[in-house]
């Protein structure tokens, strides 16, 4: 029997889920050991297929398994303290409470070495999940769920925490954590394309920034025509820089090349396969892992408190003291034991590049190369539509 959620999932099932989670939160039983059993006993899942009835409790429990640290003392006394010391070089002095469910990515090798208690890996992609974000039910995914593939440019041995969109743009003049892979498409001779990644430990400064839904919106706003599938991205970057923008953000770009899970989850205004948002630096060059021959301009540490020494010989944006595989000086990259829900006994058995997995997902999907169509998206700060732009 198919595990796809039927299009006419009863509203009572969804309200039952919401009510159950709220009730468990109030009663104080939302913990890793008891959540699955409570969900199984209390949630009415009779409107879902049998396979979803069995996986839903595990899905919810995995999503709730992230710890929250109220202060530095609590973090220091937990194995996660070692994780933060490796990734950020310190136990943070500020920014508490630190809720790990609010992070977007983690370094799996460091989690294993630190013996940190984390949510279990669910699968390569998050599962489809019903939501009430609009009057008509669409498919979305469960916030907080840990999964393996967010984008085709992520570095090896990372996992991600699901955060369904739409999202707010990053404010101007803000240090933001990002990831970048050295120009995989041959189109970054001008401009450097990055993806948002809270938890990467590598920071980019947004400067004077502007945001759009889609690339086509920016083409229209900057007076660029005759474009398709990224053919005018370099020109767009140049024009944006001439107008004084240091960065451009794309909050709702539909792209099966960016997001291998897109083909499995499918396009949807409520979320679908759009897993992240893009941040384009108009003054850097994505053909370099570090954005320039010198590699200056990025930061590391907690809240960008430390300098970043970037090595252009690596494939991914990196900082010397951040544990990107092959660059860390403090953590061994020898075989580390890991037995997760994906069935890999060690990290060495897991693919060291996401691209083979991405290619497989794209081949098996119904729409390998989705058509770029503009969409209107209601965000907390208002509606954006084709051709509109928002200064932040």
By the 8 A CB rule, do 51 and 1 touch? yes
Q: Which residues pair with 47 in a beta bridge?
A: none
When pLDDT is averaged across residues 1-21 and rounded to a whole number, the result is 45
Find the range with the poorest average confidence among 149-163, 181-195, 257-271, 297-311. Answer: 257-271
When pLDDT is averaged across residues 93-101 and rounded to a whole number, the result is 97
- Please check whether residue 109 lies inside any domain of the structure: no
Q: What is the pLDDT of residue 242?
A: 96
Distance (Å, rounded) from C-alpha 277 to C-alpha 249? 7
pLDDT over 60 at 20, yes or no: no
Residue 206 or 324, more confident: 206
Residue 173 or 127, more confident: 173
* CB-based contacts of 58, cutoff 8 Å, min separation 6: 36
By the 8 A CB rule, do 354 and 251 touch? no
Q: Which of 339, 341, 335, 337 is nearest to 148 (CA)?
A: 341
Q: What is the pLDDT of residue 55?
A: 61
pLDDT digits (tens, 9 = 90+) for 47-69: 444 555 556 666 667 666 899 99
Q: What is the pLDDT of residue 25?
A: 43
Q: Residue 223 burial by CB count (10 A; 0-12/13-18/19+): exposed, middle or buried?
A: exposed
* CB-based contacts of 302, cutoff 8 Å, min separation 6: 84, 88, 89, 90, 92, 93, 95
Instruction: State the residue range of the domain holding 30.
Output: 11-64
> Chain-wide mean pLDDT for the chain?
73
- Please check whether residue 19 lies inside any domain of the structure: yes
Most confident of 41-50, 175-184, 229-238: 175-184
- Please check whether residue 327 lies inside any domain of the structure: no
Return the SS3 of 211. strand
- Please check whether residue 4 lies inside any domain of the structure: no
Residue 16 or 189, more confident: 189
Classify the phi-psi angles of 28: left when phi > 0, otherwise alpha if psi is within -120 to 50, otherwise beta. left
Kindly tell me the number of DSSP H helices and DSSP E strands found in the chain: 10, 18
- Please check whether residue 26 lies inside any domain of the structure: yes
| For helices 11-27 and 50-63, angle between their N-to-C axes, nearest 10 degrees | 30
Q: What is the pLDDT of residue 63?
A: 67
Distance (Å, rounded) from C-alpha 163 to C-alpha 144? 6
Matching residue, tokens 């220091």: 76
Q: Which of 14, 106, 6 is nearest to 323 (CA)?
A: 106
Q: Which of 257, 282, 262 is nearest to 272 (CA)?
A: 262
- Please check whether residue 25 lies inside any domain of the structure: yes
Distance (Å, rounded) from C-alpha 113 to C-alpha 93? 23
- Please check whether residue 72 lies inside any domain of the structure: no
pLDDT over 60 at 79, yes or no: yes
Residue 219 or 17, more confident: 219
Binned at pLDDT 50, 70 and 90, residue 266 comes out as low
- Please check whether residue 21 lies inside any domain of the structure: yes
User: How many structural domains does the chain have?
Assistant: 1
Q: Which of 20, 22, 242, 275 is nearest to 125 (CA)?
A: 275
Most confident of 215-224, 253-262, 364-373: 215-224
Which DSSP letter does residue 322 get? S
The CA dihedral of 180, 186, 190, 192, to the nearest 10 degrees, is -10
When pLDDT is averaged across residues 283-300 and rounded to a whole number, the result is 95
Q: Which of 206, 258, 217, 137 is nearest to 383 (CA)?
A: 217
Return the SS3 of 53. helix
Binned at pLDDT 50, 70 and 90, residue 119 comes out as confident
When pLDDT is averaged across residues 92-102 and rounded to a whole number, the result is 97
Residue % of the chain over a pLDDT of 70: 59
Binned at pLDDT 50, 70 and 90, residue 19 comes out as very low
């Amino acid at each position: 029997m198919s595990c796809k959620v039927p299009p006419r999932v009863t509203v009572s099932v969804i309200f039952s889920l919401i009510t159950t989670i709220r009730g468990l939160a109030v009663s104080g039983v939302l913990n890793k050991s008891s959540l699955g059993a409570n969900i199984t006993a209390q949630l009415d899942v009779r409107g879902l297929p049998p396979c979803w009835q069995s996986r839903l409790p595990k899905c919810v429990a995995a999503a709730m398994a992230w710890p929250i640290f109220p202060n530095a003392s609590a973090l220091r006394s937990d194995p996660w303290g070692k994780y933060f010391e490796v990734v950020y070089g310190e136990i943070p002095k500020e920014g508490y409470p630190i809720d790990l469910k609010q992070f977007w990515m983690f370094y799996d090798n460091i989690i294993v070495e630190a013996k940190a208690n984390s949510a279990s890996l669910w699968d390569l992609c998050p599962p489809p999940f019903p939501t009430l974000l609009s009057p008509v039910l669409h498919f979305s995914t469960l916030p907080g769920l840990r999964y393996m593939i967010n984008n085709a440019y992520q570095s090896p041995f990372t996992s991600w925490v699901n955060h369904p969109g739409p999202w707010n743009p990053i404010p101007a003049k803000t240090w933001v954590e990002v990831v970048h892979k050295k120009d995989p498409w041959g189109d970054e001779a001008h401009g450097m394309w990055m993806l948002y990644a809270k938890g990467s430990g590598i920071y980019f400064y947004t400067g004077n920034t502007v945001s759009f839904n889609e690339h086509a919106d920016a083409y229209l706003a900057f007076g660029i025509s005759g474009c398709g599938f990224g053919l005018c991205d370099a020109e767009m970057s140049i024009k944006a820089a001439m107008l004084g923008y240091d960065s451009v953000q794309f909050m709702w770009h539909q792209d099966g090349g960016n997001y291998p899970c897109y083909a499995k989850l499918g396009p949807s205004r409520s979320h679908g396969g759009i897993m992240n948002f893009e941040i384009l630096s108009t003054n850097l060059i994505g053909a370099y892992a570090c954005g320039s021959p010198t590699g200056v301009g990025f930061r590391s540490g907690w809240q960008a408190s430390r300098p970043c020494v970037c090595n252009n010989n690596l494939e991914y944006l990196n900082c010397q003291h951040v544990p990107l595989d092959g660059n860390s000086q403090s953590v061994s990259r020898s075989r580390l034991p890991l037995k997760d829900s994906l069935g890999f006994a060690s990290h060495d058995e897991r693919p060291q590049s996401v691209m083979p997995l991405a290619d497989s997902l794209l081949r098996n999907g119904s729409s390998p190369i989705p058509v770029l169509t503009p969409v209107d998206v209601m965000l907390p700060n208002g509606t954006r539509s084709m051709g509109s732009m928002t200064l932040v």
